[in-house]
Amino acid sequence: MLVAVINNCGNIYSVDYALRRLGIEPVLTTDPKILSKADKIIFPGQGEASTTMQHLRESGLDQFILEWRKPFMGICIGMQLMCNHSEEGDADCLGIFDTKVTRFIPTSQREKVPHMGWNSIYNLQTEFLPANLENSYVYYVHSYYVALCKETVATTDYTLPFSAALQKENYYATQFHPEKSGSVGELILKKWLIEK
């Protein structure tokens, strides 16, 4: 099985390392010709929405992603760019998920932005997040969130309930970082890689 990682923004190497721990040697690339040979694609990263979308458009990866019909997973900003629009840089995004990305507004002094650290996921509604992970803790680093929507398949609370994961057809996405989420994240990646 060939797994490709879109090498378009930060945090690529923690994903590469997590996959190698699972016995997979991924290809890191932004070349559509190489990506087209993959069985599965992961779009991870940390970065700024409008800049990253510009890179996708300049390389033709925006259309490539929209036309891809095999399993595809977005992580963190990868998930956010799969939505319609992001407040970060007022960016029009890919529109795979019919929802928008909004900046957190703290409601108390205890709530810091970015939301960084461990938080629980609940209301799991997809086979790629096993039911026994209900209320498990995963790792987050983000200042923007995706509101709950029809494609929400897991929820987390921070200032308000938001989408921890989204799914539509062959597209999967997590706001949290499975590659940094210890044994829980490893199980999520393994299940997606083996069963999807």
User: What domains are defined for the chain?
Assistant: 3-195 (3.40.50.880)
**Active site annotation includes 177:** yes
**What's the rounded Cα separation, in Å, for the pair 43 and 115?**
21
Task: Return the SS3 of 67.
Answer: helix
Tens-level pLDDT at each residue, the chain (196 residues): 999 999 876 678 899 999 999 999 999 999 999 999 999 999 997 788 999 999 999 999 999 999 999 999 999 999 999 999 999 999 999 999 999 999 999 888 788 899 999 999 999 999 889 999 999 999 999 999 999 999 999 999 999 999 999 999 999 999 999 999 999 999 999 999 987 5
- The rounded distance, in Å, linking the Cα atoms of 125 and 20 is 28
Q: Are 105 and 147 in contact (CB under 8 A)?
A: no
The model's pTM: 0.94
Give the Cα-Cα-Cα angle 44, 132, 122 (nearest 5 degrees): 65
Q: Is 76 a catalytic residue?
A: yes
- The single residue of 25, 115, 177, 186 carrying the catalytic annotation is 177
- Name the active-site residue from 83, 88, 151, 179: 179
Q: What is the DSSP letter of 183?
A: H
In the residue annotation, 179 being an active-site residue is answered as yes
Nearest to 74 by CA among 134, 142, 25, 160: 142
80 backbone φψ class: left, alpha, beta (φ>0; ψ -120 to 50): alpha
Is the separation of the CB atoms in 146 and 83 below 8 Å?
A: yes
Structure tokens at 113: 């932005």
* Inter-residue contact 173 to 78 (CB < 8 Å): yes
**Which is catalytic among the residues 76, 83, 142, 151?**
76
Does residue 180 contact residue 14 with C-beta atoms inside 8 Å? yes
pLDDT at 110: 82
Which residue in 75, 192, 76 sits closest to 143, CA to CA? Answer: 76
Q: Do 86 and 93 form a contact (C-beta atoms < 8 A)?
A: yes
**Rounded Cα–Cα distance for residues 138 and 178 (Å):** 7
Across-strand partners of 166?
Answer: 152, 173
